[in-house]
Every structure is written in structure tokens, then in C-alpha cells.
Structure 1
Amino acid sequence: MTTATATQAIAIDAELVRTALASAGAERPVDRLAAALALPSERFVALAAEYFELEPLSMAQLRASSADFGVVSFVDATQRLCATVTAADGRKLAVLTDPLDSRTRAWVAQRLRARRVEAHWALAATDDLRAWLALAEKSLRAMDAVGVAAAGEAANESSALSLSIADISASESPIVRLVDSTIHDALKSEASDIHLETQRTGLVIKYRIDGVLGVVKRVDGIEAAHQVLSRVKVIAELDIAERRVPQDGRFKVAVDGREIDLRVSIMPNLFGEDAVLRILDRQHLSGEARQIRLDNLGFEPAARDFIRHMAALPYGLLLVTGPTGSGKTTTLYAALSEINTGLDKIVTIEDPVEYQVADVLQIPVNEKKGLTFARGLRSILRHDPDKIMVGEIRDPETAQ
């Protein structure tokens, strides 16, 4: 038998696959399978694609395709070694590098279903996909440079952290990429809060969407969890050396041409620290504020009419209570929008001002400068107000 004939006779079978899965250890199963066959990369991809019923994808075909990071982000593609692309013939392809990794395939499938994208499954060599992602990164940086140049003077005036795919991928630090991509993904998911919880085995990342808190990612390793929390502290200008007491801060990010505020609360726990990032998209919310009415919030008629009646009274106290993300602020602004006729002096004190409302005096709390809720409220009472909204009652002094 000639060498060429021997090579052609090599095939993948169930026994080889079982051995690769059983003995992978720290290696990926596909690497063990490739080592067992000892074939050139292109030949191995062709054999594996045939066995697992995938479409083989060469480096030339990858180069001819265009990136689609709307389903699998650049960061996820780099970490998971998979991608979604549009082939030269216009077909959508979900590209894998390890056909034995059922978890990654299931994750990609879920992303495709969530975005209602139909794609053909393909297989590429790991080195080819890495090289293609490196080329894609250069392209992303070039495109983003155009946006940065166009921003010009505005970028110099703003202290907001710029979040774009190119900015995220440009960072050499995996921790910086993780934090920035998490914030970016949460904004795209329209989350109200990001929870970063340090646990015994690492970090759990959760989003609160429509009032419901759910796990979106887990990061193994307690040291990685500490580094993520330190990164958040750096952005929010907090003390990274202090891990024993609560800290509060804030920062801004720039996404898609608008600035978004994030309020940071950090608390110590048994395994390190726990952070909550409240997302305050003021420009988006201010546009919504003009549309908010009590009729649109889903209240029972009796509850809606009671709130409307209480808000219209020239005296009295209306307390709105509830858990995080339940709609307290939205309810208050809906009530304000209904009584805001321009004939009354309406004053609010908030931390921070979440909605911007015309014809309403809105005062942001600034505890570093001594402007607390209690002090601000005392000053408001001397400002001839008709109606006052207090964002939070945090202490007895404010309540009294």
C-alpha cells in the first residue's frame, strides 16, 4: 500500500471519538482526536466535517466571508473559538472548531434561535479561525478609528468610557475585555442592573431585565473575580485596596453615540465583594418620560385612580415602595407627568436624576459636596414649592 493510499484509508470512527472524549483532560477533545490521526490540518478538517456532518471551511473560505458579530460577539468568538459568518454566497454559517464540544454548539444554537437566524453548521481549523479573528480585529479597529476621528472635540470633552466592539477587542487584558463586554451586552439586552457576585468558586454575572434577575455567565476562579471587581472600582474611581466596607460610585459609558450613566454599589461578602451596577440611560428614559402615563403601567383601575387622586392633592404624603426594578421611579414620574401642568412649582431631589422632565426643578444629590437628601429637602421647603418628589428616604432625618 502506498503512502497516499494509507492516508486516504484513515477515517474517524466512534472508538476514536470515545477515546478523545475520555482522555482529553486539559486538552480539547478535538486536539486529542487530531493528535491521534496525525493528519495535516486541512485533511483533518475534511474528515471531521464529514464524520460530524458539518461543512468544511478552509482559511481561504473564511477570508472570503464577512464577520457577523451580532449573534456571537467578537469577545465570545475569541473565548469560545466559534463564530457566525456570512459566506461569499450569502449563506449564514455557524463555525465551530471543536465538533466534540456539545456545550459550545448548544450555546451557539441558542443564540441563533434567540435572534431567529437560520445558519448552516461548519467546521474550521482552530488556527485558521484564530487567524481570521485577528484579521477581523484589525478591521474593527480601522472602522472604529473613523468614528473616533468624527467624534473629535466631543470625545475630548467627555469623560465617558467608550464601549464598542473595537474598543473592547483592542484591550490586551482579558479582565478589561470581560468587564467592558459585560456592560456592552447588558446595555444591548436592555438590563436595568448588572450583578457581579463573588462566590466560593469564582464570579457569577447576572442581569435584571424587566424586574427579573437571571444568571448570564459564570467565571471560574476566585482571583478572576477579585480582578473583575478591581476593574469596576478603577472605572468608578473607588479605592481598590479597600475590601472591608461598602463603597458607592458612578461612571459613564459612551455607546452608539449616546452617554449612559452607571451607578455602582460595592459590598463586602464572605468570599470577597459583590457589585451592582445600576444602568441609567437618561437620554432613552427622558424620551420615554414624555410618554409615561399611569394608564400605561398595568395598574388595576382602583390602584391607578388612588395614585392619581393622591398625586393631585395640594397636601399629604404618597409613599411608593417596592423591590429593585419593580417600577417605583417610573410610577413617580408617571404621576408627575399627569400633574405637571406648568401652573405649579414642582421640585425633585434624586440620586441620580433618572428622567429629565421639562418645567420641573430637578436636584441631583451630591454627598461629597454635602448636598444630602435631608439638607436638600430643607432647602427645597424654602423655595416656595407646590409639590416635592424625594427619590429615596434613606435615614430618619430625611423622613422627619
Structure 2
Amino acid sequence: MEEIPFAFARRNGLLPLEAGEEQVRVAYRGGVKPSAIAELRRRLQRPLTLERVDNERFESLLREVYERSSGEAAQAMEGIGEDMDLQRVASELAEPQDLMETEDDAPVIRLINALLTEAIKEEASDIHIETFESRLVVRFRVDGVLREVLEPPPGLAPLLISRVKVMARLDIAEKRLPQDGRISLRIAGRPVDVRVSTLPVGQGERVVLRLLDKQAGRLDLTHLGMDSDTLARLQRIIHRPHGILLVTGPTGSGKTTTLYAALAAINDRQRNIMTVEDPIEYYIDGVNQTQINTKIDMTFARGLRAILRQDPDVVMVGEIRDAETMEIGIQASLTGHLVLSTLHTNTAIGAVTRLRDMGIEPFLLASSLIGVMAQRLVRLLCPHCRKPYTASEADLAKLGVKRSGTGEQSTITLYDAVGCEACNHLGFRGRTGIYDVIEIDANLRQMIHDGTGEHELERYARESAPSMSQDGARRVLQGDTTLAEVLRVTQAE
């Protein structure tokens, strides 16, 4: 079996199933050429026992056999280190037609290894493999920005995508429907999970590989970039015995990372902590994690109901998507559970308005909410090449800062991005969060109960906590990021 590449089996309609002492049992579909049978016999060096199956059964067996062997491809990555050069591996590839004729999977596996290794080295969050009319493009998302890293021959697309599908245990024959899978492996000694998503497009299929570095799942709250006052507020909220904390922000703003860090902070092995997620991004030791599956009607609401029958102390719900899930969460918080979840709104206080619009009664919100927070991710300036400059009056106005003193004493230095070898000439390296954490006190609780408008709630909240824009201004003044970067992520606030 190991001697026959997937491409040969698929192309020729011949699939070795079982090797006996004297012969090999082979499934075949109609239309097989005698020359292909002869070639298979030559490769295996044994007599063949042929069993005819229909096309549907052949595809099913093909998936089953090569999905079992996908572990072999993952094992091939165990020894991969950081010395693998992506451009060199790509340049050494044979022509796509030659690869198809030789039926050799090894060069494609080497290319995938090199892509994953380079992505980890550059701390990319995603790899995009995209097929266009006359091009095959590979892009990395680094610090939230996509960058083209490779343009292999377009004929390589079917081989590359098929091999990724095999490794992720996906249906290699299904090219009309989107599919999702997962690969677990070690790269340069680091355990990494790869979430795979395929999508049919006009020119074939595109694939996105989301890299989930398992070490990132062990973040604690002190690594999130909060100032001491903001961190203290969040610590007080998550150490409350019951109530709801909502983390808000757009997709990709780090909400899940914050929730995982919060769970890690309260994971003292004396409480039953349970989650329902879509999907599970990182596994946390000591936390019981459940993944939803809409195909079998395992929704957030259904998963949350089931969890509440498991005697939990703390519940994390990946996302509040509807009023039903929120109402169950409220009832859980009112019966002595701490509930953590996320919501898609632009601001922290905006979560209250959003929940009212979903039909949640103000008195229920007032009695259950203990905290709301909003966050965004900003890129960090490369410390090797950032360039200082004197802030103008317009810059200070955007930051909400006033000059103090006169002359040189009133000069405020900000920094801009330049670019160097250390940051791949991007000017930025890494990301950090900016936050707005609001602790619901007695006055704010009463205002929510009374149906007070969002602007009044916001005005009161600002008396005790800085806004996300103000937190961003702090990072700009510290030289961590640029004014343009903070404005980019907060201008819709």
C-alpha cells in the first residue's frame, strides 16, 4: 500500500486493499487499462487478485485507505526544522505534468512542509492557497495583513490541494462543496494544529489553513498588553462567583484568546469549567470543551443546555448568536454560574444595546451582566527600525492629548514604521490588544434596568475606565504602535 502513491491509484482506478503472503487484493473500477494493471503488478512485485467495484464504492475505499495513511504525511513533518527554505524547495519542484506522470507525492509533501515551516517562522496566522485563471498563489496572513509569498506553477494546484485534503482527512473526491478538517503535527519541535477549510471557486478550489500554535493557547492575562488598572478590573470580573462577562469585537480581534486566558486564570482544579465552541481552537488541560455541529443540530443553545446538566461552575460559550442562547446564559448566571462569551458589536457598551435589540429584557440584563469589554488588535512597531518624529498639533488632537509646558518640554515624540530585514521590510512585528473593560457597578446596573440610552451609559462608563481609543493612544505614546494603526482599528468605534 505504502508503495502506491495516491495519484497513481486515483488516476488509474486501481486500489491495493490488502497484501497477503503471496498476492495483493486490489479493487478496480470500470475502464481500467491493461497497461495500468501491468504497471501495478510491476510495482508490487506480486500477483494481483482483482475485485471490481462501482465508481461510488471505489471513491469511498480510496478515501478510507488514504485517510488512514495521512498520518504518514504528518510524520514526515516531525523532523522538519527551521532550516527548510521555501523558495529553494519550490524551485526544485519538477514540472506539474512530470509530477503527475511519475505519480510521486514526495515533492508535493516537501512543498507543504516548507510552507508550514515558513509560516510558523514568520508567525503567520493563515496560509491561503488560491487558484486563479492563470495563476496559483500562496499568501500568508502575518499580523492581520495578507502577503504573497509564492507563485507555484498553476498546474500544481490539484496535487497540492489533494495532498492537503488527504492530510486533513477530507473527501478528496468532493470538489463541489466546502469542507472543513484539521491536521495535528509538530513543526520545528512545536506542536501545531492546522484548521483546513476548502471552498469551490470558479477556477477549482481555494484552501485556507489556519495555524493554531498550541503554545499560544497557554497565554495568561498578563501577556495581553493591558495596563495595570484594566487588568485589575478584568481580574475582579472573572473571579466573581456568578454573572455574565461579554467580550466584543469583530472577527479576528483576539476575543477567543482573551477568553482562553481568562479561563486559564481561574482554572484552579477546584471548579468544573466547561465550554461550547465553534470550533475548539486550543485544548486547555482541566477544561471540558465541546464543539458544536450544526449538521446534527448541535447548536450553541443545545450545547449550553446540555452543559448546564453537567454541574458546571464556569461556562464559556464561543459566541452569542441568538436570543435563545443569551436567555439560557442569563438563566445560568442567575442560578450561580459564571458565564463568559463573545458578541459582535463595535463597543463594549454597544453590547447592552445589541442585547436589547435581540429582545432581552432590561431587568434580566441588569441582574446578570457583571462586565462588558471591547478589544482590537494593533500591529507592534519593529523595535529595530521604528523612526521617531515630533508629534504635530493634528496628531495630538487625534490622540486627545494636550501639550504641557513650553519649548522642548512640550515636545512629544511618536514613532513611525520603516521596515528592515528583521520585520520582512513591513515595519511591524507582532500584535497586541487595546481594550475597553467596563465593570458593571450598582449605578450602571440601575441605569441598564431603567433602559437608559447608550450615550448616557457610555458617558458614565468613561468616568471609571478609559475608552479603547484612549487605551490605543497610550500605546502610541509609549512607542509601541503608530497613530495610523490605532485609527485604522478604532475609527468605526
TM-score where L is the length of structure 2: 0.41
Could you state the TM-score of these two structures normalised by the residue count of structure 1? 0.50
Bigger RCO of structures 1 and 2 (CA < 8 A, at least 6 apart): 2
Question: Going by fraction, where is helix more abundant, 1 or 2?
Answer: 1
